[in-house]
Amino acid sequence: MKRILVWGCIIGVVVGFGIQWAVEGESSSKYTRDTLNWVEEMVIDETNVPEPHLLVNPFSVTEDADGNIYIADVAVHNIKKFKPNGTFISAFGKQGTGPGDLNGPASIVFAGGKLVINDMMNRRFSLFEPDGNFFRSVKVESTNELCKKLKTGANGLLAVEFEKFESKPNEPQRISIHTTLGPKLFETFNVIFQQNVQLRKLISTSMPMNIVVPFPATVCWDTLPGGKLAIGYSETYDIGVYDPVKGKIATLSRKYEPIKVEDADKKEFFGKLRFFEDGKMTNNVPQHVRENTDFPRFKPAFEAIFADSGGYILVFPFQKANDKKDRRQVDVFRADGTFIRTITLVGKMNLYALSRGNGDYFWSSKTNDDGEASIVKYRLK
């Protein structure tokens, strides 16, 4: 059995989105129900990949106009292509720094007829033809910014999230959303949103290191299929709908009751941290990390924003510590800011790997008890 390797948590949340052509706000009856279920329709795992190829750490997924599926395998530095039914077609790319090489391919999307890859460790965007032939690369010019997400929409929209690294102790990070339109990708970028956030802080006791800030207010966003964006800073329940040219055109807001950070939240937070100890990965949290980790009193207003293929915006508020892990309360809005209702989504789902498919479905990844990863196609029913 092929074993799954953990490549490393450089990016917390990365997802790739395919081009969508549905009309925003189109009629959909599923949100008239109080409860919807995450239903698995297809799984792509190691059994879909023939020797000598390996599916090690599938990190991002997207589709081309014909429905072919592309998976970025960040651990083996290549892209794997499958037919719409999950049948393996080919793999392209290899680790390196030359033209067509990849080094930690993360987010992938189709834009302008090209597969756009966040070639993370090479600090560039690599563009390929659908058949896997290399087209060109575009260098990330800033030396202190990291590309974290790529997303697309209609009208040639490509949206990119950058995170600016801190250069001084305890200096906040900065999240910015850039957009480009039309067939000539990357020629011009428009900064549509930016916000200072505190995702990490530098500590100097015992051993200088950056530690993760628990439950930080941060920027959550998605593209809508019609070419707009929903962007919110989770410190408050205030989410904007943005036109890439006109700017903010609508607001989504709701009153909410802040959720207190409980002892169970703190235990779960420390339980997910990983450190190297004696050359091995361990979840033993050093004492100086525990002592310098400051928990907020309350969680932010929400932890994720997604748009479905009909242009409806799903806002995922934070949960209480004792809430069931397979049940999520989700607020549903139209793109004009109209609140529809709060519904319950049932089923285990890796929220931080969720992405929209080319139709009325979503993609995500999951890992089984043996540490083997797969890509799953879900539909809400």
Both 131 and 45 in one domain: the answer is yes
Owning domain of residue 173: 30-259+299-364+375-380
Looking at the fold, whether 247 and 279 belong to one and the same domain comes out as no
For the chain, give the mean pLDDT.
Answer: 89
The reply to whether 6 falls in a domain is no
- The radius of gyration computed from the CA coordinates of the chain, to the nearest angstrom, equals 20
pLDDT at 363 exceeding the cut of 50: yes
Q: Are residues 252 and 277 in the same domain?
A: no
- The answer to whether residues 179 and 275 belong to one domain is no
Same domain, 242 and 284: no
Specify if 137 maps to a domain.
yes
- Kindly tell me the sign of the dihedral angle through the C-alpha atoms of 326, 330, 335, 341: positive
| Cβ-contact 305, 298 below 8 angstroms | no
Does residue 273 share a domain with residue 167? Answer: no
- Same domain, residue pair 57 and 123: yes
The verdict on 238 and 121 lying in the same domain is yes
Number of domains in the chain: 2
| pLDDT score of 205 | 67
Establish if 112 belongs to a structural domain.
Answer: yes
**pLDDT for the residue numbered 20:** 35
Residue 182 pLDDT class (50, 70, 90 cuts): confident
Are 263 and 191 within 8 A, CB to CB?
Answer: no
Tens-place pLDDT, residues 218-234: 999 999 999 999 999 99
Same domain (yes/no): 52, 162: yes
pTM of the model: 0.89
| Domain assignment of residue 254, yes or no | yes
The residue out of 295, 320, 354 marking a domain boundary is 295
Rounded to the nearest 5°, which phi and psi values hold at 291? -70, -25
8 A C-beta contact, residue 153 and residue 159: yes
Give the CATH number of the domain where residue 157 resides.
Answer: 2.120.10.30
20 belongs to a structural domain: no
Least confident of 211-215, 287-291, 302-306: 287-291
Same domain? For 273 and 310 the reply is no
Query: Is 25 contained in some domain?
Result: no
Same domain, 84 and 204: yes
266 lies in the same domain as 255? no
What percent of the chain is predicted at pLDDT more than 90?
74
